[in-house]
Structure 1
Amino acid sequence: MLFDSLKKIRRYEVLHEALPAAFDFLEKSDLSSLKEGRYEIDGDRVFALVQEYDTLSSEQKMMESHRKYMDLQIPISGSEEMGFAYPEQVREIQAYDETVDIALFKPESYQTFRVDAGSFAIFHPGELHMPGCSVVSKGSEKVRKIVIKVKI
């Protein structure tokens, strides 16, 4: 898991050969005007999902992990907490579904960090994460976010 300022995102393009195309998309797009939905960057290899939702308390959320794709989570507006856990801190509640590349887990314990507009988080395949949690001091909040999926 990586967390940093969006201003520094280019330093991470060495992690995978497809990341420069993802970062080009971020730099060349008017992110605030993109409508919800899927945007092809490089077919199924790299694509962006524009999402809008209200955050929920962490008790209402599940951990997730992926096997095929790396997640770049980039809030455009709003703030959310994201949880992360080690495999020994969770129990699987929904077996891996290859068609949507996700397995869901119930966390026994986990850590959280706050992700605001202007920052981002990267989760590699197998890393357990829980996006979309309410910032405790703010309660539920509308978040607009881009999740870029990069096939590994």
Structure 2
Amino acid sequence: MIIDKLENLPKYVNDRDILQIVKEYINKEKGEYTINEKTILKRVYSTTKLSDVAKIESHKFHTDIQIPLTGNELYYIYDRENVSEYTEYDVEKDVVFYKKIGKKKCSVWVNIGEFILLNSNEIHQPQIALRNIATIEKIVLKVDERI
């Protein structure tokens, strides 16, 4: 997991044009866009949730890079021994969901102007409201690690 200022994103991603790509899609409509053979960009609106409702997830082959555009978002990170799978792995969506059986490893607050990079198999719980439930806008980059 990496949290940093958005301007530093190219330090962590092989695609040196990544900041330009993000800037091009900031004002696009909600949707999913294929950037290249290994990167999908999702422009999403989501509602933050109480931690007991927000889904815990991980991916086998994709790194998640989440960039808040409006509002801030709290993430919980878990060690594998503190969760148990409650869904089968979805090959098409590259996701498995978990239920909490122990304590979270840490909490991370991601602000506008920052990003969080979650490598495959890092178990995370996004969309957590810290104080009030709110609608937020963000960009989610899904980078296929196999390519």
Same fold (TM over 0.5): yes
The structure-2 alpha-carbon separation of the partners of 1:39 and 1:30, relative to structure 1 and needing over 3 Å to count, comes to: closer
Residue identity (%): 25
Residue 21 of structure 1 and its aligned partner are, at CA, apart by 4.1
* Post-superposition CA distance 1:93-144 (Å, at most 9, x none): 1121111100001122212111111111001110001111101x3x101110
Alignment partner of 1:92 out of 82, 85, 89: 85
Partner of 1:25: 21
Question: Does residue 56 of structure 2 align to residue 63 of structure 1?
Answer: yes
Rounded to whole Å, the distance in 1 between the matches of 2:46 and 2:122 is 23
TM-score normalised according to structure 1 size: 0.88
Residue 20 of structure 1 and its aligned partner are, at CA, apart by 2.5
How do 1:37-56 residues align onto structure 2 when only pairs under 5 Å count?
A: 37-43=31-37, 45-56=38-49
Rounded to whole Å, the distance in 1 between the matches of 2:78 and 2:69 is 25
CA RMSD in angstroms, aligned pairs only: 1.4
Partner of 1:120: 115
Gaps of 5+ in 1: none
Gaps of 5+ in 2: none
Letter in 1 for 2:56: M
The structure-2 alpha-carbon separation of the partners of 1:6 and 1:71, relative to structure 1 and needing over 3 Å to count, comes to: same
Letter in 1 for 2:117: I
Letter in 2 for 1:120: F
Letter in 2 for 1:67: K
Residue 147 of structure 1 and its aligned partner are, at CA, apart by 0.4
Partner of 2:8: 8
Rounded to whole Å, the distance in 2 between the matches of 1:22 and 1:4 is 15
Is the helix fraction higher in 1 or 2? 1
Contact 2:25/2:43 (CA < 8 Å) preserved in 1? no
Rounded to whole Å, the distance in 1 between the matches of 2:111 and 2:63 is 20
Partner of 2:134: 141
4+ residue runs of structure 1 moved beyond 6 angstroms? Answer: none
Letter in 2 for 1:10: P
